[in-house]
Amino acid sequence: MTLPLNGIKIIDFTHVQAGPACTQLLAWFGADVIKVERPGSGDVTRTQLRDIPDVDALYFTMLNSNKRSLTLDTKKPDGKKILEQLIRESDVLVENFGPGALDRMGFSWERINELNPKMIVASVKGFSDGHHYEDLKVYENVAQCAGGAASTTGFWDGPPTVSAAALGDSNTGMHLAIGILTAIIGRQQTGKGQKVAVSMQDAVLNLCRVKLRDQQRLDRLGFLEEYPQYPHGEFSDVVPRGGNAGGGGQPGWVLKCKGWETDPNAYIYFTIQGHAWEPICKALGKPEWISDPNYSTAKARQPHIFDIFKTIEEWLADKTKYEAVDILRKFDIPCSPVLSMKEIAEDPSLRASGSITEVPHKERGSYLTVGSPIKFSDLKPEITGSPLLGEHSEEVLAGLGYAAEDIKRLRESQVI
């Protein structure tokens, strides 16, 4: 099957999660992604949190499918020469080293641009160039704290809280993928490559846009009507943590269902959409609330919204989360069961759509991974297993014109 990114060659100088998530996505859509790794060790995630001794960890396999692996010591002269050759014939170089590492290796943007003016160089860093923290190394939770997510997540009487979702890592990788594709289209018009950079702080902040909205509303009004602190609690001058409150115009909350005492995920998320008030009252068996002035408008409901949620919980007490959603969906009420990772792993709909997919691996057997969340009418990415360390070194070097004896010499001198 011809894929849209066939013919795009990517030097994947990424590690851990943010960069690999980006290049994996591009590989699914057809790019030839050559993962360049240090001989002997490779990406640190190959060995992190292993579940099977001496076999690539799921952390690695789930972020590096559809790629080829080339081991290369790019600090040795022969390694630098090979990287230069690769740069001359590739389209994109993606990296997420610590600040300045690529420059120290001798591959500054200026040098790469000199080697191949069409090359797109895409980088993830913790903070953007020129930021007063630009020299910092950054991991996921650091970015969530720097980007506004942690200060606005959690409960008001608890500490700042990070999300389990990889807002700093994979989210930054997705932003970078958009940047790379834009630069490729730009190059079609200008013939020139360019530098594309996304900082993890900026990528988190981009998802916290509504919290910056709230800061400005708070500055002007002194309160935020959709937060649990309104109208009975206190506001300071910063956006508070709102627990499980809905971030938009509709109040919502996580509500207990049958079995919550023993099952940590026996909950649903329930949203009270303004125009759905009438169906909600009907679903709950509370038709008298439809025209009651204490309940009939969103403004009237807000002062006692938690009493309303309590009433809904009473209605939910004899229903499992699935039974509840099956009733509520008939009334057009936006809601969902709170799903555990086990339930997600076994979900037949996610399997059917390819969002959860089973992938073969040469050493570990098959494993589950998250497939493409982007669906196309004419393209269904086939997810293949991740490469073993250096699995494609000989193939890549042969493609660059190296003879078998040269490859042997490079291996003996630990360049590859």
Tell me which H or E stretch contains 84.
Answer: helix 77-89
Alpha helices (H) along 285-328: 298-301, 305-316, 321-328
| CA 154, 159, 165, 171 torsion-angle sign | positive
Q: By CB under 6 A, tell whether 45 contacts ligand COA.
A: no
Q: By CB under 6 A, tell whether 59 contacts ligand COA.
A: no
According to the annotation, is 304 in a ligand binding site? no
Q: By CB under 6 A, tell whether 73 contacts ligand COA.
A: yes
Asked if 91 and 119 count as a contact pair (C-beta separation under 8 A), the reply is yes
According to the annotation, is 191 in a ligand binding site? no
Please list every residue from 115 through 144 that binds ligand COA, using CB under 6 A: 124-126, 137-139
Q: Which of 12, 56, 169, 202 is catalytic?
A: 169
Omega before 99 cis (within 30°)? no
Asked if 235 and 156 count as a contact pair (C-beta separation under 8 A), the reply is no
Q: By CB under 6 A, tell whether 16 contacts ligand COA.
A: yes
User: Which of 101, 221, 317, 404 touches ligand COA by CB under 6 A?
Assistant: 101
CB of 169 to ligand COA, least distance (A): 4
CB of 211 to ligand COA, least distance (A): 22
Asked if 236 and 223 count as a contact pair (C-beta separation under 8 A), the reply is no
Residue nearest to ligand COA (CB): 98
326 is catalytic: no
Tell me which H or E stretch contains 401.
Answer: none
* Between 88 and 137, CB nearer to ligand COA: 137
Asked if 280 and 335 count as a contact pair (C-beta separation under 8 A), the reply is no
Give the single-character DSSP code of 62.
Answer: T
Q: Is 163 exposed, middle or buried (0-12, 13-18, 19+ CB in 10 A)?
A: middle
User: Which of 10, 55, 70, 72 touches ligand COA by CB under 6 A?
Assistant: 72
CB of 5 to ligand COA, least distance (A): 22
CB of 132 to ligand COA, least distance (A): 16
Q: By CB under 6 A, tell whether 390 contacts ligand COA.
A: no
Q: Which residues contact 65 (CB under 8 A, 6 or more apart)?
A: 24, 27, 28, 359, 369, 383, 384, 385, 386
CA distance 116 to 112: 6
Asked if 333 and 279 count as a contact pair (C-beta separation under 8 A), the reply is yes
User: Which of 4, 7, 98, 303 touches ligand COA by CB under 6 A?
Assistant: 98
Q: By CB under 6 A, tell whether 196 contacts ligand COA.
A: no
Largest CA distance in the chain: 86
Pairing verdict, β 252-256 and 68-71: unpaired
CB of 124 to ligand COA, least distance (A): 4
* Between 283 and 415, CB nearer to ligand COA: 415
Q: By CB under 6 A, tell whether 12 contacts ligand COA.
A: no
User: Which of 29, 60, 97, 402 touches ligand COA by CB under 6 A?
Assistant: 97
* Between 48 and 244, CB nearer to ligand COA: 48
Active site positions, annotated: 169
Binding-site annotation, residues for CoA: 15-18, 38, 72-75, 96-98, 104, 137-140
Binding site for ligand COA (CB under 6 A): 16-19, 36-38, 72-75, 96-98, 101, 104-105, 124-126, 137-139, 169
Mark the binding-site residues for substrate, compressed into ranges: 248-250
